[in-house]
Structure 1
Amino acid sequence: MVFGVRDGTRDRVGTDVRLQQLKNGNEDFTNWLSRMIEPRIMLDVLDFECGGLAYSIIAVEPSYERPVKFSGSEFIRIGENKKKLADFPEHERSLWIATGRRRFESAVAVSNATTDDVFAKLDPEPLFELTGDPRPKNSDEIIRKMIEYGFLLDNLEGHYDVTNLGAILLARDITMFPSIAGKAVRIVKYVGRNKSKVAP
C-alpha cells in the first residue's frame, strides 16, 4: 500500500502521512497493525522522499496458507474498490486455486534484492561444488545459474527475489531471512535403531 500516489490516475502527489511516526492511541502504528492482522505475517513500513515529494509504504508479506484477516474480516481489492472477500465466493475460490499451486520452495523469502544484496545474503560456492559446474567468472553468470536452479527469480525490474529454496540452501546467515529462519536444515544422529537417545 502506497501513500503519496493518487488512486486512478497514479499521479505522484506526495503525502503528509509518516507511518514510522504514526500512533494509534499510545501504540506505534506498526505494532497496532500487526495486532489487527491474523495470521501474524511480516509487514514493514517505510517513509522516504523522491523528487522532492514524501511517500509512505506498507509492505505486507503474502499469505499462501489461509486468507489474511484485518480486524476479523477478509478483504479483496476489485479494481479501485475494497470489498469483503466473503461477498465474492467466486473470487475467493479462484484466489485459492491460484495460490494453492505455489510450493514452499518457490515462495519468496526476500524480494527486490540488488546483485550486491544477493551476494551479501547468499553464498553461491556450494552450488558449483555440488553440481560440478565450473564457477563462472562474472557475477551476471552466477546470478543466471542461481535463477536456473530456482534459487532466485528475476523480477524484471533490475532486481531479484530470493526464493525459500535459495535461502535455505545458500544463506550465509539464515537469520537474514526472518520468514524462514525457523526452518533451517537440522541433522539429528541417534544412538542405535530407536530414537530414544541422541548421539553426542
Structure 2
Amino acid sequence: MNLPSAQERPASLVRELCKLPTETEWLEFKRNRVDHEQIGEYISALSNSAALANRAHGYLIWGVDDASHELVGTMFDPKAAKVGNEELENWLLRLLSPKILFSFESVEVDGQRVVVLEVGRAYRHPVQFMHNEFVRIGSLKKKLKEFPEKERELWRIFDETPFEAMVARRDASDEEVVSLLDYPAYFDLAGIPLPENRSQVLERLAAESLIRRNDSGSWDITNLGAILFAKRLEDFSGLRRKAVRVIAYEGRDRVSTLREQVGAKGYAAGFEGLIGYINALLPSNEIIGKAIRKDVPMYPELAVRELAANALIHQDFGLGGAGPMIEIFKDRMEVTNPGSPLINVERFLDTPPRSRNEGLASLMRRFGICEERGSGVDKVVSVTEAYQLPAPEFSTVSDHTRATLFAHKELTKMDKSDRVRACYLHACLRYVQRDYMTNASLRDRFGIPVQNSATASRLIKEAVEGGMLRPYDETAGRKFMKYVPYWA
C-alpha cells in the first residue's frame, strides 16, 4: 500500500477531517478570523480536549466553512503574522505552559489555500495560555476551572496514561503498520526469527504494545512503537521534532558548523547508525607505543553509547519543539535532552535512575542498547578514568539535562572545577563499589607518580574545602586517611 507523501499528508488530513459531520472537541474550523489571543486559547483548549478524547492531536483549520465543512480558502498567513515585533509562533510558545508541540502548515487542497494548526495533546499537566487553562465543551471554548468534572477527568488521564501508551498514528491498516514500522529491526534486536506471515508479525508487535487493536478493528500505532521503530519519524507528526540532532562544530564554540544531521529512524532501529555516525565525526588521538602508531577515539565508545541512550530514555516528551541533541566541539562533546533531571545531578552515579518513560527504558535495556538499571553512569565515569580524561560533567541547563565529555587535558592544565569534579566523581565511584577514595587511588586515577603523592593530597584538600568530600574517619592517621562523598 502506498502511503501519502510528506507533501500529500496535510491535504489528505484536511479532506478526512472535512468529512466529519460536525466539529468536535478536538477540531475547530474557521474561515479568516484571526485573533492572536484566541489562537493561544484554542491551543490550550484543543490540547486538553485531545487528551480527554484520547487523540494524539487537536486541529484548528482556517479555510473551511464551519457549518457545511466546504473548502472556502483563507487569507490567513501564520508565517507573516506578528504580535508587535514578535513572530506569532514565538509569541504563542512564550505564553504557553508547558511548551507543547504545535505547528502551522499552509497547504493547497482542491484549489483552495488552507492553514492547519496541529496541536499535540496535553501530557502530565493541563496546558495553560496566559495562566489560564481552557477546554472544549462540544464546539465551544471554555475555561477548564468552570468544569471541575472535566478537570478531574483530565488529571485521572494524566495519572493513568504514560507517554508510551499514547497513540502516534490512529486507524492504520495492516499494510500501513508494516510500511511505517521497521519491524525486521524489532525481530533482529529481540533475537527472534522473523515470522513467515504478516499476521504473526502484527501479533508480536501488539504483544510488545508497539501497536494495538482499536474499536474499528484497525491498528493504533503507539508512541512506543513509533519512537523506537519508525522507518521515518517524520511520518508521525507528533514525534518528528523528537528526532536526534547531531552537530559537529569547527572550534570550541557554536559559530562555525562543520556538519549537521537529523536522525530519520526510530531510536531502536537507528541507534547503531547513530553511534557509528557520531564516532565517525569524533576526533582521534595518535598513540605511539613500541614504535607503532595508532589512532584511538578521543572518547570511549561505551561512554558515548551510554550517554546517547540516556538522553533518549530520560527526555521529557511533554516539552514541545525540542529533542535530544549531540554536539561535538574541538575540546568536548555535549549530550542534551529535554527535561530537568528527576534526581540531583550530583547523585547521578549512586542513585538508581528514575525514568519518565519506563516502557521505553525497559525495551531499550532488553535490546542491549543501554546498560542495566543503575549501572550506566558509573561505567561512564569508570571508563573516562581509565582513559585518564577529565571527569564528565552533568548539569541542568534551563529545562534541559546535559552531560559533557571532555577531551584529554593534562592535570596541570585543569582548572579548579575540573579537579574538584574529578575527585568527587572518583570518590562516588569508589563508594558505589564499596570502597573508599585514598591518596593512592587518586594517584592511579590521574597517573600521578608515587613520589608526587603531595600533589594528590592537594587535590583532596581542594575537594574537601569545596564541600564535595569528607574524611571517612577524621581520627585516622594521614597515611591511612580515607575519603567519601559529602552525602555518604
Query: 1: distance between equivalents of 2:89 and 2:142?
Result: 23
Task: Tell me if structure 1 keeps the 8 A contact 2:209–2:224.
Answer: no
- Alignment gaps of 5+ in structure 2: 1-59, 234-242, 245-263, 267-314, 318-322, 325-336, 338-356, 365-369, 383-428, 438-488
Tell me if 1:125 matches 2:216.
no
Give the greater-gyration-radius structure (CA). Answer: 2
Q: Structure 2 CA distance, aligned partners of 1:20 and 1:123?
A: 38
What is the aligned counterpart of 1:25 among 84, 91, 102?
A: 84
Kept after mapping to 1: 8 A contact 2:187/2:194: no
**TM-score, length-scaled by structure 1:** 0.73
Q: Deviations over 1:139-193 (max 9, x none)?
A: x87566434532245787x99645135424x367852579464377543154577
Report the counterpart of residue 72 of structure 2 in structure 1: 13
C-alpha distance in 1 between matches for 2:194 and 2:226 = 19
What is residue 163 of structure 1 aligned with on the other side? 223
Counterpart code for 2:95: M
Relative to its length, the structure with more helix (as a share) is: 2
Q: Please tell me the residue identity of whatever aligns with 1:118.
A: L
Aligned to 1:46: 105
Tell me which residue corresponds to 2:194.
Answer: 134
| Distance (whole Å) between structure 2 residues aligned to residue 147 and residue 47 of structure 1 | 35
1:85 aligned residue: 144
Check conservation: 2:164, 2:224, Cα contact below 8 A: yes
Contact 1:46 1:58 in 2 (8 A): yes
Contact 1:20 1:47 in 2 (8 A): no
How much is the aligned-residue C-alpha RMSD, in angstroms?
A: 3.7
| Compared CA separation, residues 166 and 53, structure 1 to 2 (3 A) | closer
Amino acid at match of 1:21: A
For residues 132 and 27 of structure 1, what CA distance do their matches in structure 2 show?
A: 53
- What is the one-letter code of the residue matched to 1:82? K
Aligned residue for 2:209? 150
Q: How far, CA to CA, are the matches of 2:107 and 2:65 in structure 1?
A: 17
Does structure 2 conserve the Cα–Cα contact (< 8 Å) formed by 1:106 and 1:165?
no
Amino acid at match of 1:105: E
Number of aligned positions between the proteins:
192
* Number of the residue aligned with 1:57: 116
Q: Aligned equivalents of 1:193 and 1:117: distance in 2? A: 49
Question: 8 Å contact 1:43–1:61 — kept in the other structure?
Answer: yes
Question: Aligned in 2, Cα 1:164/1:2: closer, same or farther, shift over 3 Å?
Answer: same
Provide the secondary structure at the position in 1 that maps to 2:69.
coil
Measured against aligned partners, the alpha-carbon deviations of 1:48-82 in whole angstroms (never above 9, x if no partner) come to: 01001111111111122111001111001111211
CA deviation vs aligned residue, 1:29-54 (integer Å, no higher than 9, x gap): 21111112100111111110100111
Q: Distance in 1 between matches of 2:178 and 2:213?
A: 14
Q: Deviations over 1:58-115 (max 9, x none)?
A: 111112211100111100111121111111111211222234321232124x547966
- The letter of the residue matching 1:132 is I
8 Å CA contact 2:164–2:223 kept in 1: the answer is yes
CA contact (8 A) 1:37 1:68 kept: yes
Residue 85 of structure 2 aligns to which amino acid in structure 1? N
Amino acid at match of 1:53: Q
Structure 1 residues 50 and 115: alpha-carbon distance in aligned structure 2, compared to 1, 3 A threshold: farther
Mapped contact 2:184–2:194 kept (Cα < 8 A): no
Work out which of the residue numbers 67, 72, 76 in structure 1 matches 2:135.
76
Q: Residues of 2 paired with 1:159 and 1:54: CA distance?
A: 32
| Higher RCO structure (Cα 8 Å, ≥6 apart) | 1
User: Distance between the aligned counterparts of 2:139 and 2:83, measured in 1?
Assistant: 26
Deviations 1:9-43 (A, max 9, x none): 43322211122332222222211111121001111
| Corresponding residue SS for 1:46 | strand
Amino acid at match of 1:127: F
TM-score scaled to structure 2, two decimals?
A: 0.33
Equivalents in 2 of 1:17, 1:137: separation in Å? 49
Equivalent pairs: percent with the same residue? Answer: 25
